[in-house]
Amino acid sequence: MPVSIGASENTFTNPIGLLSDCHRRIERFIKTLLTVATQAGGSSLDAEHRRALEVALKYFREAAPKHTADEDEDLFPMLRQLANPRVSTVLGYVDRLEAEHKTAETWHREVEEICQCWLSRGRLSDDESARLRMVLTLLSDLYRDHIALEVERVFPAARSELSAAELGNLGRHMASRREFRTRRRSARSTVRAIDRRSRLETHHAVQLRAKAPRQYRNQPIVLLPVTCGLLENSAG
């Protein structure tokens, strides 16, 4: 079960597109956790399952909270500040989305706790294993509806109602959030650096496809974490 993080398709100059890219990672890593929990069933982890579990847990521990912060601390307050009747319906959805972030956080804490027991002890009891699968299923269901609401209702409103300057600020805040702990530099230079990295990755993917044996050329390319934020855990 290869673990794919993939390359971002958008940059910080398109912050709403970048938030959608983050959704793909959330979906992928929840699926990874659910697959490991189902296939291994709480029994001894082989090397591949262990690695997949560690990578997915790290993503939800370190990177996904940045995506939540992008929305809770930047995007949602920007929409509220508009005081615009065209976004009044959307603001109702925003309240629900914020509550779901808190619910997801609680469930992720439980998943982290059970999985760390699994990694350290080597196996889970039947009850722990069943509970893990249940919480992951709840999370998977929550994210499916949550992401649909954001993509279908909230993001289109943000695109149409936020000004170019506001979207620029959102992108700069998102870039700073990912870079702040690794290297101090201006938000503008962070955006440039990450955009440059993203272009390099796209170039790299094209080269990989060209060099692959013919029968693999139409297969999706799995890129190990590079864009994911100058550091693999900083993407969100």
Return the structure tokens found at 31: 């699926």
Within 13 Å, how many C-alpha atoms sit on residue 76's CB side? 18
Q: How far is the CB of 24 from Fe ion (least distance, A)?
A: 11
- Of 150 and 201, CB closest to Fe ion: 150
Return the structure tokens found at 158: 């943000």
List all residues 6 or more positions away from 193 whose beta carbon is below 8 Å from its beta carbon: 179, 185, 230
Q: How far is the CB of 37 from Fe ion (least distance, A)?
A: 23
Q: What angle do CA 30, 55, 176 make, to 5 degrees?
A: 90
Instruction: Give the span between the Cα atoms of 91 and 139, in whole angstroms.
Output: 23
Provide the binding-site residues for Fe ion, judged by CB under 5 A: 71, 150
Instruction: Give the span between the Cα atoms of 104 and 139, in whole angstroms.
Output: 6
Q: How far is the CB of 203 from Fe ion (least distance, A)?
A: 28
- Of 93 and 118, CB closest to Fe ion: 93
- Of 76 and 118, CB closest to Fe ion: 76
- Of 55 and 69, CB closest to Fe ion: 69
Q: How far is the CB of 150 from Fe ion (least distance, A)?
A: 5
